[in-house]
Amino acid sequence: MVQLDFDALRETRATNPGRLAEVYKKRQHRELLAGDGRLMIVAADHPARGALAVNGNATAMADRYELLTNLAIALSRPGVDGVLGTPDVIDDLALLGLLDNKVVVGSMNRGGLRGASFEMDDRYTGYDMPAIERDGLDFAKNLIRINLADAGTADTLESTAFAVSEAAELGIPIMLEPFMSEWVDGEIKNNLTTDQVILSMAIAAGLGNSSAYSWLKIPVVPDMARVMASTTLPTLLLGGDPGEKEDELVEEWANALTLPGVRGLVVGRSLLYPHHGDVEKAVDTAATLVHG
């Protein structure tokens, strides 16, 4: 059982905020693609966009102590290479001493709050590239939902292009997560047809003044061979909220991980809040798929 000192975390937060800079300066780093050249990353940037639901539970990710405990369990498992999160989550993990020798990914744009009238305006409200460099993080990540019928998309594309250019200048890899999105009955829905995923990848790959440090993070959809034939960029597969269809999703991951260009998985809710309740089992299954 993972034991975390939440009393010390709260005390440091209140009385010694400068401690974070010291922790980041002393953090032990690893090569990005150490070992077999593949990555298994656990994602936890959902709460900052107001997306707390998992498996039909609208507030599943609301308990920060449960989230941190589940992240600690995940990061302790063999084959888990790192974590993706917003500054509040990453700072907590840093103060808890859980980031040494892990790939740490900073999530940048969380402004398109779930259910908001401005949801397509995915402003950069989390990390920026100077902050990722300041804290010595290993990777940047952004969300690029492209809605051809919503003008908010234009600002998102421009801001993302600036972030990609800045990442290239700093020599920091950046993970682009694109979707073609639509308003349906007042809600944003991502179009997960094969052709639309390929279209989103084409748009995302062209952002910025250099693609030298660009990666893609994409969903698993039908005909993944054709999807992967559309890019030379290193690509990670994303998870999502599978509900009770976890076994089907695992099989889809397994098949897609065999394709050229696929470098691993970035999975959050389905591992941290699995339908069966066993975080270790869910994480171990995913890590085994990635690393064999």
Residue 274 within any structural domain of the chain: yes
pLDDT band of residue 276 (cuts 50, 70, 90) is confident
The span from the CA of 144 to the CA of 165, in Å, is 15
Whole-Å CA distances, 107 to 57, 83, 129, 228: 24, 10, 10, 24
Tell whether pTM > 0.85: yes
The residue type found at 61 is M
Looking at the 3D structure of the chain, how many domains does it have?
A: 1
- Residue 9 lies inside a defined structural domain of this protein: no
Residue 144 and residue 181: Cα distance in Å, rounded?
Answer: 9
Q: Rounded mean pLDDT of the chain?
A: 95
Q: Where are the alpha helices (DSSP H) in the chain?
A: 6-15, 19-26, 64-76, 87-95, 129-134, 152-170, 194-205, 224-228, 246-256, 269-272, 279-291
Cα 271 to Cα 48, 149, 261: the distances in Å are: 18, 34, 23
* Per-residue pLDDT at 244 exceeds 80: no
Give the pLDDT confidence score for residue 275 in this predicted structure. 87
Over residues 169-198, the mean pLDDT reads 96
Distance CA 141, CA 108 (A): 6
Give dist(CA 235, CA 53) in Å, integer. 26
Q: Looking at 73-82, 136-145, 196-205, 265-274, which range is the least confident one?
A: 265-274
CATH number of the domain encompassing residue 275? 3.20.20.70
**Domain range for residue 156?**
23-291
Does an H or E element contain 146, and which? strand 139-146
Q: Is residue 34 part of a domain?
A: yes
Q: Is residue 8 in a domain?
A: no
Whether residue 14 is contained in a domain is answered as no
pLDDT at 15 over 70: yes
- Paired tokens of 206: 């062209």
In a domain, 117, yes or no: yes
The mean pLDDT of 26-35, rounded to a whole number, is 96
Contact present, 22 and 247 (Cβ < 8 Å): no
Q: Does residue 39 form part of some domain?
A: yes
The answer to the question of residue 273 being in a domain is: yes
Mean pLDDT lowest among 43-47, 50-54, 66-70, 258-262: 50-54
